A and B are shown apart, each in its own frame.
Chain A
Amino acid sequence: MNNFIVKKSKKYVNNEILNWSAFLRLKKMKSQDTRLKYFYQQGTYNEETPLSDIQFLALDFETTGLDVDQNSIISIGLVPFTLSKIFCKDSKHWYIRPQDKLEENTVIIHGITHSDLTEAPSLEGILVELLDHLKGKVIVVHYRNIEREFLHNNLYNLIGEGIIFPVIDTMQIEADLKQIKNWSLRKWFSKPNVESIRLANSRKRYNLPEYSAHNALIDAIATAELLQAQIKYHFSPDTQIKKLWI
């Protein structure tokens, strides 16, 4: 597996995995879980596919906290889109019963009530449906550490196997762009200001509207809009997917 993985910190794309198609084929062979096996079997796009031909899926989680070992997913929102259209019709939102024990007094998290969660299905309960939405698409997130790692970890705890797939991280794109912009300045080595690349602040740079409500689905849509804007600003419909996915 190691020969597929190259750690790079280059200009604005971190190509951690060079050949996603081959990587997913390998995962398919190794996977023990039939659901995941089926998911990997759907594969992904050839790395040279232009962005205009890609079916994207924006994905957002809300979690009980930021510690991937201690906390777990409590809601999932997703919406499929292309370079030109975001399809609300096919959007989806779930509440998930968390794996960690909810303290009785932490009644409301992100406006989600305790009863929303105790009556909600477990992650495993919606896994087939979730994978059905994800399969074959290029997943788009804002800050991949949350979505990628929480899904991997939460699944691992549930079924003894994690999950991995290529993502586009709109936050990483913003961070990379800032790096490039600062390249000529002395600040090139400094860390990007995290505050400025949060979802709401990133959207402002593209004159996208502010959203008052926050939940996993609205944030997924907000992320989809942000990627559309980023591509219109900085890339082209002919840009190859390998330039953006990680």
Chain B
Amino acid sequence: MEIELVEIQTFIKKYPPFNLLPEDAIIKAVHNIEISYFRANSSVLELGEIIDKFYLVRSGEIAISRRNGDLYDKLDEGGFFGQLGLLMRGVVRFPAKTTQDTLLYCLPQTIFDEFYDKYDQFSDIVEVENTTRLKQAFESNQDDRNDLTTAKVKTLLTRDPVVLPQTSSIKHVAKIMSEKNVSAILLTDPTICLTQNDTDFVGIITEHDLCIKVIAQGGDFNAPVSDVMSYELNSLDSNAYIFEAMLIMLRANIRHLPILKNKHPIGVLDVADIVQYESQSSLLFVRSIFLQQNIDDLVALSKQLKNCFVRMVNEDANSHMIGCAMSEIGRCFKQRLLELAEELLGNPPVPYCFLALGSMARDEQLIVSDQDNAIILDNNYEHQLHNSYFEKLAKFVCDGLAQCGYSYCTGDIMATNAQYRKTQSQWEECFADWIDHPKPQALLNCSIFFDLVGVFGRIKWAEHLNAFVVRRAKKNNLFLASLAYNALNRKPPLGFFKNFVMENDGKHRNSINLKRRGTAPLTDLIRVHALAIGSQSQNSFERLEDIIEAGILPSTNAQDLLHAMELISIVRIRHQSLDLEIGNIPDNNIEPENMSHFERRNLKDAFLVLSNAQNFLKFRYSANKFRVE
């Protein structure tokens, strides 16, 4: 580079994320900058295309939009973009176009990566922007940080501030407040000529002020609002964190806080916004399940489950965390329904254990889920005497679950089905029969019984049953072979040339069912290995850890399976979350053309891992093999 590039150097060192870098890094950046000119209304980055540059706006204006095309943000001189795509290994997540003639400084990815690794000042800024400002989280990490400390206030703003001149009458202000349905209005002084550094409002008036300072005092409604408004103003920059807003509101004992961007108000934060935001957290959600006093309240609460799910996805949770939280919430609904059922029906005549089966037992439940459940009864159960109680109990719970969004099981594997209410010894016999006399056809529909967990009553019984199953299955090669045979039924959607093969039936034509073609066959084959080594874990990731420890798979294969499971799960989760965010009904189907290049490529790799693992399974547990050690 030449020293004469000082013009560019002075520019970039004014703006984050460059402003905190040492001089030699600035010079290196300048050295490598490529300049591009775009006319107004031309596209800079298209969704899903490869990105290998980090962009800084030199002049002009850029509009960043969401995947669904909604405007997300506008950037002007000094604004930067592209970091999310770069951190996601090179695919555009947020399309960018110019709204004015724009000159961009583009920094190649190699330099971006180098700065990102080398300078915390740089990575902090692009990362904060990544995880909270852009509100889309794609890297999974950060297990339990409190997100009030990482989310920014501007994410809570839902509307522009309502602004009136301070000369307006109190009556007029109150009228506008009710018309616009806001609880606070910002007031300007029309006589003040603004300089650059002034904020353009002089006071705020809230519902509370009107109540205390006007109505309670018998004040004059026609007096100017300036008589009663608050002049001592607290405000906060839109990039501040939510917890800072809470601190200010607590300290100043106020309920409304103007939020500024470049010294101009872009909204008023209401304390209710913060409460609302926090109430979507999954921990609070679990607690509130147990506070609901009847089915109707539970049903009402269940409508908020999707917000909770979307929020976890946006906060970067991985599929294991989301699966655990959703399963825990599902089990809590069940528990609360059983408590309500017992209140209604009286105490049970004999002890029982209510079971969750399948994904809820594996801690792998997502937002689209049906209910699979069963009951273990005490060995003293007498059909004539006790059946009607448990029939009613099961009906109450299953109907309640259905109303809360957990649809009835299409295979009728529910406690309402009399054949899935058995005593402890009957269940043991039943499992013993499945294991000792395996018939693939019979096993086909009962694989979910091998993922079970107790949710209510004598929970220990579920553990005992599980231990019984594991002990018995481990020794039985024929059973493992039959289970393996079934696990090969569902193939990954890859064609001969490793291209995607689409579903060709029904309304999901030309899409891929990520559950049927991905997570389900993976779960099936992981279960076979887990049973073969006598693992008592239920969750697929935990089972895989056990499998890795037992050393029955080449270690790289087992690691690949972990990654494949996580990838397919998280793609499925994100697509469900996006569907929810734009108001669609989430499902398990994904159209390859709606996937980013990055997702497509990685999904293919993941399916390939599944395909290879299935081949290995076939070879390892073939029925005529003498022994599985």
Residues on A facing B (Cβ under 8 Å): 77, 81, 84-89, 91-93, 206-209, 211-213, 215-218, 221, 224-225, 228-229, 232-233
Segment of B98-106, B217-225, B495-503, B530-538 engaged in the interface with chain A: B98-106
- A–B Cβ pairs within 8 angstroms, 16 of them: A85-B36, A88-B8, A89-B32, A89-B34, A93-B4, A206-B101, A208-B59, A209-B103, A212-B7, A213-B10, A217-B4, A221-B5, A221-B35, A225-B35, A229-B39, A232-B42
Given known contacts A91-B1, A216-B4, A209 and B59 CB-to-CB distance under 8 angstroms: yes
A224: chain B residues within 8 A (beta carbon): 35
Assembled-state Cα–Cα distance A151/B5 (Å): 23
Within 8 Å by CB of B1, from A88, A213, A215, A233, lies A88
Q: Does B6 contact A (CB under 8 A)?
A: yes
Interface size on B, residues (CB 8 A): 27
Q: Which of B3-33 contact A (CB under 8 A)?
A: 3-8, 10, 30-33
Write the chain A residue with the least CB distance to B100.
A207
Partner of B37, one of A92, A217, A225: A225
Total of A-B residue pairs, C-beta within 8 Å: 79
Q: What A residues does B103 contact at CB under 8 A?
A: 208-209, 225
* Structural contact, A207 and B101, CB atoms closer than 8 A: yes
Most buried by A among B7, B38, B58, B100: B7
Contacts of B6 on A, CB cut-off 8 Å?
213, 218
By the criterion CB–CB under 8 Å, are B36 and A229 in contact?
Answer: no
**Is B518 in contact with chain A by the CB < 8 A criterion?**
no
Contact of A232 among B5, B32, B37 (CB under 8 A): B37
A-contact bits for B87-101, CB 8 A (1 contact / 0 none) = 000000000000011
B7 touches A213 (CB 8 A): yes
Q: Is B493 an interface residue (CB 8 A)?
A: no
Kindly list chain A residues whose C-beta atoms are within 8 Å of the C-beta of B100. 207
Q: Are A85 and B7 in contact (CB under 8 A)?
A: no
A218 lies within 8 A of B1 (CB): no
Contact: A211 with B7, CB < 8 Å? yes
- Across the interface, A91 reaches (CB within 8 A) one of B2, B42, B58, namely B2
Question: Is the beta-carbon distance between A93 and B37 smaller than 8 angstroms?
Answer: no
**Chain B residues within an 8 Å CB radius of A93:** 2-4
Docked pose: A86 CA to B38 CA in angstroms: 13
Other-chain residue from B3, B30, B42 in contact with A88 (beta carbon distance below 8 A): B30
CA distance A153 to B627 in the complex (A): 93
Looking across the interface, which residue of chain A has its beta carbon closest to that of B2?
A93
Closest to A78 in B: B2
Minimal Cβ-Cβ distance residue in B for A222: B7
Closest 8 CB pairs of A and B: A207-B101, A217-B4, A86-B35, A93-B2, A228-B37, A209-B59, A85-B34, A93-B4
User: Do A209 and B106 contact each other (CB < 8 Å), given the known contacts A88-B1, A232-B37?
Assistant: no
Known: A89-B31, A225-B103. A84 touches B5 (CB 8 A): no
Given contacts A88-B31, A221-B7, A225-B103, 4 further A-B contacts (CB under 8 A): A208-B37, A217-B4, A218-B4, A228-B36
B358 at the interface (CB under 8 A from A): no
Q: Which residues of B contact A77 (CB under 8 A)?
A: 2, 4
Q: Residue on B with the closest CB to A86?
A: B35
* Contacting residues, chain A, for B101 (C-beta < 8 A): 206-208, 229
Tell me, yes or no, whether B60 is within 8 Å of chain A by CB: yes
Are the C-beta atoms of B5 and A86 separated by less than 8 Å?
Answer: no
In the bound complex, CA of A228 to CA of B106 (Å): 15
A75 to chain B, nearest CB (A): 9
- A88→B37 contact, CB < 8 A: no
Contacts of A212 in B (CB 8 A): 7
Most chain-A Cβ atoms within 10 A of its Cβ — which of B3, B58, B101? B101
CB nearest neighbor in A for B60? A207
CB distance from A58 to the nearest CB of B (A): 11
Contact yes or no, A209 B1, CB < 8 A = no
Alpha-carbon separation in the docked complex, A77 to B7 (Å):
14
Complex CA gap A232/B44 in Å reads: 14
Q: Flag if B38 contacts A232 (CB, 8 Å).
A: yes
A86 and B1 form a contact (CB under 8 A): no
Taking the nearest CB of chain B, how far is it from the CB of A66, in angstroms?
Answer: 22
CA distance A92 to B2 in the complex (A): 6
- Are B4 and A88 interface neighbours, CB within 8 A? no
- Measured CB to CB, the closest approach of chain A to B56, in angstroms, equals 13
Give, as a whole number of angstroms, the nearest-CB distance from B6 to chain A: 6
Chain B nearest Cβ from A205, distance in angstroms? 10
Count chain A CB atoms within 10 A of each CB in B7, B8, B37, B38 and give the residue with the most: B37
Residues of B within 8 Å of A218, CB to CB, are 4-7
Which residue of A213, A216, A232 contacts B39 across the interface (Cβ within 8 Å)? A232
- Chain A residues with Cβ below 8 Å from B3 are 93
* A85 partner residues in chain B, CB cutoff 8 A: 34-36, 106
A217–B34 touching, CB < 8 Å: no
* Contact across chains for B36 and A209 when beta carbons are under 8 A apart: no
**Nearest CB in chain A: distance from B60 CB, A:** 6
Shortest Cβ distance from residue A80 to the other chain B in the assembled complex, whole angstroms: 11
B317 to chain A, nearest CB (A): 39
Q: What is the minimal beta-carbon distance from B40 to any residue of chain A, in angstroms? A: 8
Asked if A86 and B34 sit within 8 Å, CB to CB, the answer is yes
Cα of A209 to Cα of B7 in the assembled complex, Å = 11
Instruction: Report the separation of the CA atoms of residues A232 and B2 in the bound assembly, to the nearest whole angstrom.
Output: 28
CA–CA, A233 and B5, complex, Å: 26
Q: Are B36 and A86 in contact (CB under 8 A)?
A: yes
Closest CB of chain A to B458's CB: distance in Å? 70
Q: Which residue of B lies closest to A84 (CB)?
A: B36
Question: Complex Cα distance A216/B8, Å?
Answer: 14
- CB-CB < 8 A to B31: which residues of A? 88-89
Q: A207-B100, A209-B103 in contact; A215/B37 too (CB < 8 A)?
A: no
